[in-house]
Amino acid sequence: MPILDLKPEDLHKWYLEATKKLNTESYNKNAQKPYEELSEEQKSIDKFICKKIKQRIRKACEFYKRYEYNPELLIKEYPKYKETVAKFVLPSDFGFLRLEIKGEDKVLKQEKVKLCDSIGYKEWLFKEVENARKE
């Protein structure tokens, strides 16, 4: 089941599981029934929470996908991560030649490439997704 296939009915099922062993004064007694038997007003609570959870998951996924292969953009948009991301950049003299064509002129230019511990960076980024806040 895809994570975004979450349904209000799932939330209510989990609510019933979570409240099963609680004292009766700790939960809403009127909600202690199958989802289908809830009033529309009661169902609207599960629908609202379900929508918010999906929005949060989408936002986290979009954040991760935006910066997964672009640590430079992450640093530009979130300067507070500069020192942390720098730990994943590996020293390198690796370079490549690039052919630049301007009109009739053809010029070979050598460029240096920064190598990155992409596995370490991606693992860190995945964990950091929850905490990301723009400055």
Give whole-number Cα distances, 31 to 24, 36, 38, 119, in Å.
Answer: 11, 11, 7, 45
pLDDT at 71: 86
- 133 near 93, Cβ under 8 Å? no
Would you kindly state where each structural domain of the chain is located, as residue ranges? 3-131
The model carries a pTM of 0.67
Of 22-26, 31-35, 46-50, the range with the lowest mean pLDDT is 22-26
Q: pLDDT at residue 134 above 60? A: no
**pLDDT of 80-103, one tens digit each?**
988 888 888 766 555 555 566 777
**Is 90 exceeded by the pLDDT of residue 106?**
no
- pLDDT mean across residues, the chain: 82
